[in-house]
Amino acid sequence: MTNLLEIKNLSVDFPSRRGQVAAVNMVSIAVAKGEVLGLVGESGAGKSTVGNSVINLLEPPGYISGGEIVFDGTRIDQLSNEEMRKIRGARIGTIFQDPQTSLNPLMTIGKQLSETLIETLKISGASAREKSIELLDSVGIPNPEPRLDAYPHQFSGGMRQRVVIALALAGDPDLIIADEPTTALDVSIQKQILDLIKSLCKQRNLGVIIVTHDIGVIAEIADRVAVMYNGQLVEQGKVKQVLQKPKHDYTKSLISAVPSGDQKLHRFTVVDYIDGSEEKVTLENVSDHWLSKNKSSETHGTAVSVKNLSIEFAIRQALFRKNRISLKAVDDVSIEIQTGESFGLVGESGSGKSTLARLIAGLYTPKSGDINIFGHNVLQKTEKTKTSLIRRKMQMIFQDPYSSLNSRMTVEDIISEPIRFHRSTENSSETTEVVKDLISFVGMPTTSLKKYPHEFSGGQRQRISIARALASRPEILICDEPTSALDVSVQANILNLLKDLQEELSLTMLFISHDLPVIRQMCDRVAVMQNGKICEIAETDKLFDHPEHDYSKHLLGLMPRMDLFRL
């Protein structure tokens, strides 16, 4: 089999003030026609940089400092910009991660398709329109002709990614580079898009490089896999062989860190190969610590009870009521969470799970229904002081650790703010002590208190968010996708920390995720949400082994195939 693309000893350097940073170091990979090569690694591994250097679109000031890229028998790493432009689109197509931002929002998709077709295939406008319809049809967009005049925002995320794929295929390329093509999409859509890429690859005999951080995606689609770590290629081979009998230690720990949906383990497996991830979580005896004071005596009973809760958002404003369109984001939902329980909320994006969490946290006001926390109706307007006391017992951890911390405050200020606001310590020296305890409690050195959030990685920031949440001495913790922005190795650490905290402090937890294996590991009971309604509430094991509702079955069927990982 002759190789379509051969990368030999590729090195990419990024000059910085502290000298050269080698983003990619002596990487050699090859792709043949009709083959899907998976390039897997965690953030910062240099996998996207490899893809970008093939199409010569490295982010400045990065440059190729060594090696060769041979495409279809010719070296392309030394071509001029103009020559390279003729290869992009016509010979090598690219799919980027986020379909929301890959398309020009002000241009109809028909126009974007035909301009690409006219440029790459040198055809006329009329035949470009016909070809566009054909392309949209081939990527599975139903009734494509009228959709040509639609703008990107009129498509759903999955449909938009199909348009992006159609655009990548427009020039009839031989090679497709897909950089995290499904990361921004829901599981069910992810499967459809991966199936589409795979079938296009076989039909058109394309070479495909799929760059991803998700081992599940690799297992689903790739023929061969190359594992990258810290700019270097650590292992490559057939998918089955690499996933089942990984040779390199990094691959081994990466695979073991993927949460399993098959069985419940006590703790998540931590990727111990990665430098600096072995932060020891020191849990002191917390029962007589500041954190455990002021606890309500109840350890049994209902912590949160939600009855017939509904909220609507206006999608279209209008003068007359009949012209207004509103979306029922949460529609007649009732749940009960017991004290000390981990309650999971699972569903796809748009199912209303985050909205429900925000309603419970008091960030939105519901249209109708009741919310009782520790038996107190928090929607009653008469007892405001009591309500705010109760609300303090509930804290939230958000998905994005980058935007949920104030970048102009030091970590110490961030964590001590709730303490000072609620005046929950005797004096400022006690506050300092408590803040120190909290930061070491979440597994970070006390030296980090004087730093600012941008000095930390995503995982460390999420630890800071957790410490901030603990500073209000919560009894209920609402975690909204706390690890979906993080790498698997970091995810394992954070989830273990949350589990430990919950046990030590006997917290009640509402855990929201779209990731079923994570839910299985974290939660005692799970509610499945779809279109603002609850489909099924069950014990975690019961739901995973014997789902009752059709939608639960459907969701479970979409979990990554774990059989490939095990013999």
Partner 1 sequence: MFYFILNRLAQALLVMAVVSAISFSLFNFVGDPVNNMVGQDATREQRIEIRQQLGLDDPILVQYQRFMINVAQGDFGLSYRIKQPVSQLILERLPATLELVFASAVIAVFIGIVLGVFTGIRRYSWVSKIIMSVSLIGVSLPTFIIGIGLIYLFAVYLRWLPSSGRAGVVELGGWKTSLLTVDGWRSIILPAITLSLFQLTMILRLVRAEMLEVMRSDYIKFARARGLANRAIHFGHALRNTLVPVITIIGLNIGGLIAYSVITETVFQWPGTGLMFIQAVDFVDVPIMAAYLIFVALLFVVINLIVDILYFVVDPRIRRGGS
Between CA 327 and CA 367 the distance in angstroms is 12
One residue of 17, 122, 280, 316 binding partner 1 per CB under 8 A: 316
Which candidate, 378, 350, 375, places its Cα nearest to that of 364? 378
Q: At 101, is the secondary structure helix, strand, or coil?
A: helix
| Sites for partner 1 among residues 442-471 (CB under 8 A) | none
Quick one: which segment of 161-169, 339-347, 395-403, 432-440 binds partner 1 (CB under 8 A)? 161-169
Quick one: which segment of 9-17, 84-92, 465-473, 550-558 binds partner 1 (CB under 8 A)? 84-92
The pattern of x and - marking residues 120 through 159 that bind partner 1 according to CB under 8 A reads: x------------------------------x-x------
Q: At 407, is the secondary structure helix, strand, or coil?
A: coil
One residue of 1, 126, 315, 567 binding partner 1 per CB under 8 A: 315
Between CA 223 and CA 214 the distance in angstroms is 15
Minimum distance from residue 64 beta carbon to partner 1 (Å): 17
Cβ burial of 51 (10 Å; 0-12, 13-18, 19+) is buried
Q: Which is nearer to partner 1, 183 or 241 (CB)?
A: 183
Q: What is the dihedral of CA 150, 151, 153, 158, to 10 degrees?
A: 60
Minimum distance from residue 119 beta carbon to partner 1 (Å): 6
Q: Does 87 bind partner 1 (CB under 8 A)?
A: yes
Q: Please count the other Cβ atoms lying within 10 Å of the Cβ belonging to residue 58.
A: 18
- The letter for the amino acid at 48 is S
One residue of 61, 73, 105, 445 binding partner 1 per CB under 8 A: 105
Q: Which is nearer to partner 1, 208 or 512 (CB)?
A: 208
Between CA 37 and CA 51 the distance in angstroms is 12
Q: Are 527 and 542 in contact (CB under 8 A)?
A: no
Between CA 128 and CA 560 the distance in angstroms is 38
Helix crossing, 125-138 with 157-169: angle to 10°?
130
Between CA 6 and CA 395 the distance in angstroms is 52
Quick one: which segment of 40-48, 90-98, 527-535, 538-546 binds partner 1 (CB under 8 A)? 90-98
Between CA 97 and CA 47 the distance in angstroms is 13
Q: Does 170 bind partner 1 (CB under 8 A)?
A: yes
Between CA 506 and CA 503 the distance in angstroms is 5
Q: Identify the bridge partners of residue 534 per DSSP, sorted by sequence position.
A: 529
One residue of 74, 78, 101, 388 binding partner 1 per CB under 8 A: 101
Between CA 173 and CA 89 the distance in angstroms is 7
Quick one: which segment of 163-171, 296-304, 331-339, 523-531 binds partner 1 (CB under 8 A)? 163-171
Q: Does 524 bind partner 1 (CB under 8 A)?
A: no
Q: Does 58 bind partner 1 (CB under 8 A)?
A: no
Q: Does 106 bind partner 1 (CB under 8 A)?
A: yes
Which candidate, 495, 555, 546, places its Cα nearest to that of 521? 495
Q: Which is nearer to partner 1, 329 or 466 (CB)?
A: 329
Minimum distance from residue 315 beta carbon to partner 1 (Å): 7
Minimum distance from residue 484 beta carbon to partner 1 (Å): 20
Q: Does 64 bind partner 1 (CB under 8 A)?
A: no
Q: Are 558 and 261 in contact (CB under 8 A)?
A: no
Q: Does 89 bind partner 1 (CB under 8 A)?
A: yes
Q: Does 172 bind partner 1 (CB under 8 A)?
A: no
Q: Does 175 bind partner 1 (CB under 8 A)?
A: no
Q: At 563, is the secondary structure helix, strand, or coil?
A: helix
Quick one: which segment of 89-97, 338-346, 383-391, 494-502 binds partner 1 (CB under 8 A)? 89-97
User: Footprint of partner 1 on this chain (CB under 8 A)?
Assistant: 55, 57, 85-90, 93-94, 96, 98, 101-108, 115-116, 119-120, 151, 153, 164, 167-168, 170-171, 315-319, 323, 325
